Amino acid sequence: MEIKQASLGDLADVLFLLRDCITDMNTNGLKQWNSAYPGTEIMKNDVEKGTLYIFTDLGIAKGMINLSDEIPDEYKEINWKGKSDKILYINRFAVNPIWKNTDIAEQLMAFAEKYAKENKFSGIRLDVLDSYPVDNSFFTSKEYDFAGEFHSSFQKIPYSCYEKNL
């Protein structure tokens, strides 16, 4: 098993992973992602920018995480409390539902924190849809601090933002 930067050759695997995650979310009443977001173009853009990393095992993409220094527009309204000189933003973080009860999420987060430290980021920021209590508790257990909430134009439920200083 390895975590590696996704290439265009991995795009089909990434899209299959994404489809499985969307199906599972929607089956469980969670409507954060759908067939339009994040779509093929967004995922291809992440790969081309070199910001998408995938967790593979025996050639199967089991998880993914996008690590970027680009601040999402929605984050500009949050009153962040931590350092803000060089921030790593995590989004499109997912584990295939077949392997959701494994330590893949833990390994992806450990990878993200190691990546942030090695690249001299002062902190990490991310958001989680409020209706995902498991995700919210996962990040607080990793010592991420709640920083605020925002609403998106396509979602009635607010997103909780978390940050961690390094």
The count of C-alpha atoms lying within 13 angstroms of the C-alpha of 155, restricted to the half-sphere facing its C-beta, is 19
Mean of per-residue pLDDT scores for the chain: 91
Buried b (16+ CB within 10 A) or exposed e, 94-109: bbbeeeeeeebbebbb
pLDDT digits (tens, 9 = 90+) for 33-88: 777 678 899 999 999 999 999 999 999 999 999 999 999 988 988 999 987 789 99
Cis peptide before 133 (omega within 30 of 0): no
Q: How far apart (Å, rounded) are the C-alpha atoms in residues 126 and 32?
A: 15
pLDDT tier at 137 (50, 70, 90 boundaries)?
confident
Assess whether pLDDT exceeds 80 at residue 152.
Answer: no
pLDDT of residue 159: 87
The superfamily in CATH containing domain 2-125 is Gcn5-related N-acetyltransferase (GNAT) (3.40.630.30)
Q: How far apart (Å, rounded) are the C-alpha atoms in residues 59 and 149?
A: 37
Is-contact 64 13, C-beta < 8 A? no
Residue corresponding to tokens 């924190």 = 113
Specify burial of residue 70 (Cβ count, 10 A radius: 0-12, 13-18, 19+).
exposed
Q: Where is mean pLDDT largest: 67-76, 123-132, 152-161? A: 67-76
pLDDT of residue 132: 62
pTM surpassing 0.85?
yes
Assess whether pLDDT exceeds 70 at residue 139.
Answer: yes
pLDDT of residue 131: 63
pLDDT of residue 133: 63
